[in-house]
Amino acid sequence: MEKLVQSMDKSKNRVEEIVAIGTSTGGPKTLEVVIRHLPSHYPYPILVVQHMPSGFTKAMADRLNAISSLTVSEAIHGEVLEPGHVYIAPGNHHMQVKRSQAYHYFLQIDGTTPPRGGHRPSVDVLFESLAPLHEVKKTIILLTGMGSDGTAGLRKIKEVSNPNEVTAIGESEESCVVFGMPKAAIEEGLIDLILTKEKIAEYLRAKVSGR
């Protein structure tokens, strides 16, 4: 009930920044570290694409919700983004962010568009949807995972964004279960900070420590 009240209060707030996270192999445990200790007043929505089959993402969202001060849920089509809410892309569905004429941001959940690079949900699809949203800052995070999903989407964001509009973080090799997704973006020079999962959690907390 407390989380519901907080969510209703936050819905009055405008979104100033979006945190977007992409991960695959080893992601669930890493997400626990990153999300678990964020404060209940965290002022930004957090969007997560975890490569996972349909049916498993809801259980992961419920588990994260149980250990977090934030509200964590499997994303629903048409849902308006709220500060302090973590949205998990449903398995076998792409997730994108769209902007209304009133500058509200809402989720488009799509289970019909083909997989991108073998993935649905695709990190690239989420990241590319953020590229046109120049009025909001973006923290883009690539965590442990096999392959290179997320690199093309991050490249698109960087190509069209001012330097102060986006910060890209890659999980360090020693911290990853599989150093694939962060490595691909690092090798292209797209990553601004390389941090362990613990340091990523600290970074996200420090951004709002004075609020």
Task: Please confirm, yes or no, whether 149 is among the known catalytic residues.
Answer: yes
User: Cα(27)–Cα(25) distance, rounded to whole angstroms?
Assistant: 5
Paired residues of 166 in beta bridges: 138
CB 105 within 8 A of CB 97: yes
Cα–Cα distance between 172 and 186 in angstroms, integer? 10
Among 24, 73, 129, 175, the one annotated catalytic:
24
Query: Is 94 part of the annotated catalytic residue set?
Result: no
Cis status, amide bond into 121, omega within 30 of 0: yes
Q: Catalytic residue, from 68, 93, 149, 175: name it.
A: 149
**24 catalytically annotated:** yes
CA 176 distance to own-chain centroid: 17
The pair of structure tokens assigned to 163 is 């330097």
Question: Which listed residue (51, 85, 93, 119) is catalytic?
Answer: 51
Catalytically annotated residues = 24, 51, 149
